[in-house]
Amino acid sequence: MALKRGRFGAFWLAPVIRIARRRGAWWRGRESLTRPDEPLDEKCPLDGNGLVKKHGRFGEFIGCSGYPKCKYTRPITMGIKCPKCNEGEFVKRGSMGKGGRGRFRVFYGCSRYPDCDFTTPFMPMAEPCPKCGAPFIVEKKTKIGTVRACLKEGCDWEKLAPEEKPAEKPAPTLTEEPAPVGVKG
């Protein structure tokens, strides 16, 4: 039996009818299925059980540890207040685009969604704007590179984000001595 992921979640497939898949897609799906729930130091507001950080097919979320009886869930927030309602916080969301037939797009919106409809396609960062003092700035990906900018109306502050250096790989060690150049062995 092989553990597979489909559009409705994980399932087992018999080896006789297994379809060859690319290794990358297979391992990406398998990692999220095997992660255990992480307990948090909070209590469920409905039944008093502990809350846990769960890993589902749409990403991470917070849910009640007494799942079959209590179905309380909430998204993981970024800790940045919404500029429109000043009550909710930013949450990472996704959309399929054009009726589900487009590419998956990530956007950031208010956790009080039906009441507050503020969204932005750019990733918010919990740094105040140095020019106007707005409570957060956003990180945009443009043709010239990654840019940090202010979203507040009337503020035109922008700067290039510092580049992150990739981690250096250690030099490979040789277990055998290489053959001299020009000598066939």
Report whether 90 contacts 82 (CB < 8 A): yes
SS (H, E, C) 16-69: HHCCCCCHHHHHHHHHHHHCCCEEEEEECCCCCCEEEEEEECCEEEEEECCCCC
Question: How wide is the angle at C-alpha 164 spanned by C-alphas 163 and 166, nearest 5°?
Answer: 130
CA atoms within 13 A on the CB side of 154: 3
Among 31-40, 143-152, 158-167, the range scoring the smallest mean pLDDT is 31-40
Task: Name the helix (H) or strand (E) containing 87.
Answer: none
For residue range 32-45, list pLDDT tens digits in order: 456 788 888 889 88
For residue range 73-104, list pLDDT tens digits in order: 888 888 888 888 888 889 888 766 665 566 77
CA distance 16 to 152: 58
> What is the share, in percent, of the chain residues with pLDDT greater than 90?
3
Q: How confident is the model at residue 176 (pLDDT cuts 50, 70, 90)?
A: low
Report whether 58 contacts 46 (CB < 8 A): no
Residue 23 has pLDDT above 50, yes or no: no
Scanning the chain, the segments in alpha helix (DSSP H) are 23-34
Residue 142 has pLDDT above 60, yes or no: yes
- Tokens 């097919």: give the residue: 57
